[in-house]
Amino acid sequence: MKTVVITGSARGLGLEMAKVFRQNNLNLVISDLNKENLEKAKEELEKINSDSKVGICVCDVTKSSDIENLIKHTKKEFNNIDIWINNAGVNQPEKPIWELTEKEIDLVLDIDLKGAIIGSKLVMEEMIKQKQGAIYNIEGYGSNDAKMLGLSIYGTSKRAITYFTEALAKESEEKNTGIIVGKLSPGIMITDFITNALGDKEKINLSEKTKKVYNILGDYPDVVAKFLVENMLINTKNNAKIEWLTNRKAAWRFMTAGFNKRDFFK
């Protein structure tokens, strides 16, 4: 039975992806900052009828020792790591660059960018020993070079994640490791992430204009997770991009916006 590890998976997209993996009988190790939240998430996962097992492991992705421990914990419980998803992420306060503190900038880059880089590096070492495995990183606003006020540092990290993931895939291919590396592009999801900055440290008050765009382009994370996981399960290609909100889908959503009565914020 295959084993999946997802960082930042006590809620949001991470937890929803875990549910779909469990429905497909894959063993799981969910990990996040807080043990109680992980225990609650595990309870939820265990309500799903499945032959697989669910492990939990506290891991702050800004600490490489925590990531090493997550790898060790998974190997001990399940022997192998088949799929690793660097999913942990935080949003930034909705401010221009010069109004952000250095601490706020560090936190976003340390979690969203460096956390995924170190996670990929450490699990790559392990997967090379196994001679197989798949690593996925999550794209986000900025990955396609889009820019907007209040998302510049987050966008910097996601633009870099895209480059980093492609570079890792190329190195994996050139070194003939047999490990596949890919990008998951979830579009816009209605999770705590869109209204909370820096973990849950600060609230973001969404403008009416932003809410309108989210109502058109956004989806609940369970819908996106089903699509991403089903595609990961059949993907055998290195450097794949599994994309939920394609340009075509976004254009269609705008064209049919007049018929769309969704209101995620009522």
Ligand X SMILES: NC(=O)c1ccc[n+]([C@@H]2O[C@H](COP(=O)([O-])OP(=O)(O)OC[C@H]3O[C@@H](n4cnc5c(N)ncnc54)[C@H](O)[C@@H]3O)[C@@H](O)[C@H]2O)c1
Binding of residue 138 to ligand X (CB under 6 A): yes
Residues contacting ligand X: total by CB under 6 A:
29
Q: Kindly report the CA angle at 132 between 113 and 187, in degrees rounded to 5? A: 40
Binding of residue 177 to ligand X (CB under 6 A): no
Chain center to CA of 7:
8
Q: Which of residues 225-264 bind ligand X (CB under 6 A)?
A: none
Q: Which of residues 64-123 bind ligand X (CB under 6 A)?
A: 87-90, 111
153: number of Cβ within 10 Å:
23
261: number of Cβ within 10 Å:
6
* CA distances to 41, 53, 63, 195, 197 from 201, in Å: 21, 33, 19, 11, 6
In the bound complex, what is the minimum distance in angstroms from residue 178's beta carbon to ligand X? Answer: 26
In the bound complex, what is the minimum distance in angstroms from residue 30's beta carbon to ligand X? Answer: 10
Q: State whether residue 4 is helix, strand or coil.
A: strand
Q: Are 124 and 179 in contact (CB under 8 A)?
A: yes
The one segment of 48-56, 68-76, 187-195, 250-258 that binds ligand X by CB under 6 A: 187-195
Binding of residue 7 to ligand X (CB under 6 A): yes
Q: Are 47 and 71 in contact (CB under 8 A)?
A: no
Q: 37 vs 177, which CB is nearer to ligand X?
A: 37
Q: 130 vs 227, which CB is nearer to ligand X?
A: 227
Q: 133 vs 221, which CB is nearer to ligand X?
A: 221
The one segment of 21-29, 128-136, 169-177, 184-192 that binds ligand X by CB under 6 A: 184-192
In the bound complex, what is the minimum distance in angstroms from residue 38's beta carbon to ligand X? Answer: 9
List the one residue out of 71, 76, 59 whose CA is nearest residue 111: 59
* CA distances to 3, 42, 234 from 52, in Å: 9, 12, 19
Q: Which of residues 189-228 bind ligand X (CB under 6 A)?
A: 189, 191-194, 199, 221
Q: Which of residues 18-57 bind ligand X (CB under 6 A)?
A: 32-33
In the bound complex, what is the minimum distance in angstroms from residue 59's beta carbon to ligand X? Answer: 6
List the one residue out of 30, 23, 40, 41 whose CA is nearest residue 5: 30
**Footprint of ligand X (CB under 6 A):** 7-8, 10-14, 32-33, 59-62, 87-90, 111, 138, 140, 186, 188-189, 191-194, 199, 221
